[in-house]
Amino acid sequence: MKHYQSDVAVIGAGLAGIVTALELLDCGYTVALLDGSPDGALGGQANDAFGGMLLTGTAEQARNRIKDSPELLLADWLRAGEFQADDHWPKAWATLYAEQCTPMIYRWLIAHGIRFFPSVQWVERGLHGNGNSLPRYHIAWGCGRGIASTLADALTQHPKAENLQLLRGHRVESFEQNATGVSGCMGVTDYCLTGTDTNTEQFQFTVSSDNTVVCSSGINGNLEKVRQNWDTCYDPPPFVNAWSAAKALAASPSVFSKKWRQNKSRKALVGTVSQNCAEPWMAEPKPHREVLRRVL
């Protein structure tokens, strides 16, 4: 069994985990950053994300003569959000985001090397009064993958990088606890190796830490829970993989199925699958990539 020790264990190396680790390194802490992703990539979902951000009061808006402010953003948000009287936390989040997105997100990202397209886009436009009254969608150069790789580089090239233990292929399965609370975590390495018995001690690890931060993306790390909580307004929840999704959709009267009927070659279908992978019903990037690899 492997043992690691750090001031803080950060579980999940998506954007949330990378940003947490960067801030902790800045403050002089030792950090163990763990990620169980089978492909070992840093950045999690951001590698497949579009990479646009809702921001207000930016240099890009000013250059495009868009006069925005936190107050205007909050007013749009409160109107579009249709909050109920007891929606305390959603309102608090909207208020914090509107007030702090420029210093805490925009300036932070600029300071860490992220740049944005000069034009600012409309998103969730308030055509009927409900939505953004101004363009606020800022697209990062390199899009989602650009954000992920720039921040991953900032992490590995951090001046205090010697304080970082980057533990790829380490999937956390439980927390360690003592009398005062959580004292670390434990799990398995290389759990994705097919045909390998990861129950054996050689694959197990523990991390002892004063503090543990979970950045594993909430229920998004568990596809079964995502399906259980799927909003029915998006039609049925995603299928097991893109290939079975494609076959099932071929039976439905969608644009996708038209393409399927018109062009039945496997390669054409793969092209269509790649183009449509950002749709909510296809939002399973890793099995999707695996299927593409096999089909190609």
Ligand X SMILES: Cc1cc2nc3c(=O)[nH]c(=O)nc-3n(C[C@H](O)[C@H](O)[C@H](O)COP(=O)(O)OP(=O)(O)OC[C@H]3O[C@@H](n4cnc5c(N)ncnc54)[C@H](O)[C@@H]3O)c2cc1C
Nearest distance, CB of residue 145 and ligand X, angstroms = 10
Nearest distance, CB of residue 20 and ligand X, angstroms = 9
Q: Which residues contact 269 (CB under 8 A, 6 or more apart)?
A: 246, 259, 260, 263, 295
Q: Which of residues 32-51 bind ligand X (CB under 6 A)?
A: 34-37, 44-46, 48-51
Residue closer to ligand X by CB (options 148, 249) is 148
Report the distance separating Cα 50 and Cα 147, nearest Å.
10
Does 14 contact ligand X by CB under 6 A?
Answer: yes
Given candidates 74, 94, 140, 215, which one binds ligand X under the rule CB under 6 A? 215
* Beta partners for residue 185, in sequence order: 175, 207
Does 12 contact ligand X by CB under 6 A?
Answer: yes
Does 263 contact ligand X by CB under 6 A?
Answer: no
Given candidates 21, 172, 188, 291, which one binds ligand X under the rule CB under 6 A? 172
Q: Which of residues 127-156 bind ligand X (CB under 6 A)?
A: 144
DSSP class per residue in 22-61: HHHHHTT--EEEEE--TT--SBGGGGTS--EEE--S-HHH
Given candidates 131, 221, 237, 287, which one binds ligand X under the rule CB under 6 A? 221
Does 183 contact ligand X by CB under 6 A?
Answer: no
Does 17 contact ligand X by CB under 6 A?
Answer: yes
Q: Convert residues 65-104 into a mask of x (bound to ligand X by CB under 6 A) and - (unbound).
A: ----------------------------------------
> Which ranges in 222-284 belong to alpha helices (H)?
223-228, 242-250, 255-262, 266-275
Nearest distance, CB of residue 255 and ligand X, angstroms = 18
Structure token pair of residue 205: 């690890």
Does 238 contact ligand X by CB under 6 A?
Answer: no
Taking a C-beta distance cutoff of 8 angstroms, is the pair 207, 185 a contact?
yes
- Taking CB under 6 A as the binding criterion, the range among 13-21, 87-95, 236-244, 259-267 that sits at the site for ligand X is 13-21
The count of residues interacting with ligand X (CB under 6 A) is 30
> Which ranges in the chain belong to alpha helices (H)?
15-26, 59-63, 70-81, 88-100, 108-111, 143-156, 223-228, 242-250, 255-262, 266-275, 285-295
**Cα 5 from chain centroid?**
27
Does 213 contact ligand X by CB under 6 A?
Answer: no
Report the distance separating Cα 64 and Cα 66, nearest Å.
5
Residue closer to ligand X by CB (options 74, 188) is 188
Given candidates 33, 52, 74, 189, which one binds ligand X under the rule CB under 6 A? 52
Q: Which residues contact 251 (CB under 8 A, 6 or more apart)?
A: 257
| Residues lying near ligand X in the complex (CB under 6 A) | 11-17, 34-37, 44-46, 48-53, 144, 171-172, 215-217, 220-221, 278, 283
